[in-house]
């Protein structure tokens, strides 16, 4: 069955030493395992950077073969109401650990999806069972976790992975799967994934389903993203007052890649720092992109707004 698993599961790190990036966090977690003691913890950070992986690896190293009866994993986005806190979580938390484990561990994945009432109920459960149960809560947005819970947890901030860390991890998988990947393809995967290892693995697996030799062009095609140089060329044409040609490039992006208006705006925004223009013009472009992004969010017609943006860029020049 392992062969049909998605690569995000097949190549998920099994130990803390295998986790890419997050060096300082891993050092702290290994110290907790060695001491066989730990506080309640809040893992906060963007998706795909190792929060769930660290929690699972910590539990495996802490409990070993006794993990089944001592570790409870819940995804709060599925079970997010107060009944779950008062039922499953409370029942599990109030029972003593099995075997030689010093305490039980409850992992609440995507804890920022818990309702406010559920979080209020959870904070009392965390406090009253602190002697025999510890909690790990992961959240993409720590601001959505109420202050009383944050104050009961040691907060660990997970950062997006750097390009070298993503490339190194992908290189091991490429070697195992006997793939051939161009250097430009690694850069393209990082560009699209933006430090999200889960997304990077999905892109690599999708590209591998098409060809054994993976190029930057294939990566962008698979992920429905335009090549950065194509977006930059479109903006430069508009800056040079060649609106008709820039509009033709926009047609190509929409037809070839099937991009939405917001996708194109995001890529334009990411290419602005790479343009060889005066700093004042760069600031005006960012302000203009922000204005048109707001219009799209409000429901304006994508095609009209994108062409209006190109016209506005021409006037900025």
pLDDT digit string, tens, across residues 82-124: 666 677 777 777 888 777 778 889 898 888 888 888 888 888 8
Find out whether 239 and 314 touch, Cβ atoms under 8 Å.
yes
Q: What is the pLDDT of residue 308?
A: 92
- Residues in the chain where the model's pLDDT stays below 70: 1-3, 76-85, 317
The pTM assigned to this predicted structure is 0.83
Torsion sign across C-alpha atoms 13, 14, 16, 17? negative
Q: What is the pLDDT of residue 1?
A: 44
Q: Which helix (H) or strand (E) holds 54?
A: helix 51-63
Residue 290 burial by Cβ neighbours in a 10 Å radius (0-12, 13-18, 19+): exposed
Q: What is the pLDDT of residue 211?
A: 82
Find out whether 197 and 12 touch, Cβ atoms under 8 Å.
no
Domains of the chain from N-terminus onward: 2-157 (3.40.50.300), 163-222 (1.10.8.60), 228-316 (1.20.272.10)
pLDDT digit string, tens, across residues 24-42: 899 999 999 888 888 999 9
How many Cα atoms sit within 13 Å of 31 on the Cβ side?
A: 7
């Amino acid at each position: 069955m392992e062969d049909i698993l998605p690569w995000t599961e097949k190549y998920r790190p099994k130990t803390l030493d295998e986790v890419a990036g997050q060096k300082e966090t891993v050092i702290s977690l290994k110290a907790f395992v060695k001491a066989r003691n730990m506080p309640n913890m809040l893992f906060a950070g963007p998706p795909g950077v190792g929060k769930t992986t660290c929690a699972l690896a910590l539990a495996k190293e802490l409990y070993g073969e006794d993990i089944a009866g001592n570790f409870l994993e819940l995804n709060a986005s599925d079970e997010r109401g107060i009944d779950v806190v008062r039922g499953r979580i409370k029942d599990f938390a109030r029972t003593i650990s099995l075997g030689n484990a010093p305490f039980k561990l409850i992992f609440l994945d995507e804890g920022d999806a818990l309702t406010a009432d559920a979080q209020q109920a959870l904070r009392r459960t965390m406090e009253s069972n602190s002697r025999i149960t510890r909690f790990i809560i992961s959240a993409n947005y720590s601001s959505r976790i109420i202050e009383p819970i944050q104050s009961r947890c040691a907060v660990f901030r997970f950062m997006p992975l750097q390009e070298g860390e993503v490339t190194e991890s992908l290189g091991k998988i490429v070697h195992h799967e006997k793939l051939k990947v161009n250097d430009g393809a690694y850069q393209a995967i990082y560009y699209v994934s933006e430090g999200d290892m889960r997304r990077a693995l999905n892109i690599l697996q999708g590209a591998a389903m098409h060809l054994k030799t993976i190029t930057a062009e294939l990566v962008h095609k698979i992920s429905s993203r335009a090549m950065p140089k194509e977006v930059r060329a479109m903006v430069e044409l508009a800056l040079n007052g060649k609106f008709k040609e820039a509009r033709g490039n926009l047609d190509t992006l929409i037809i070839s890649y099937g991009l939405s208006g917001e996708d194109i705006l995001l890529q334009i925004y990411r290419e602005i720092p790479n343009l060889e223009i005066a700093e004042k013009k760069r600031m005006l472009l960012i302000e203009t992109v922000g204005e048109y992004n707001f219009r799209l969010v409000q429901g304006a017609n994508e095609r009209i707004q994108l062409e209006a943006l190109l016209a506005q860029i021409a006037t900025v020049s």
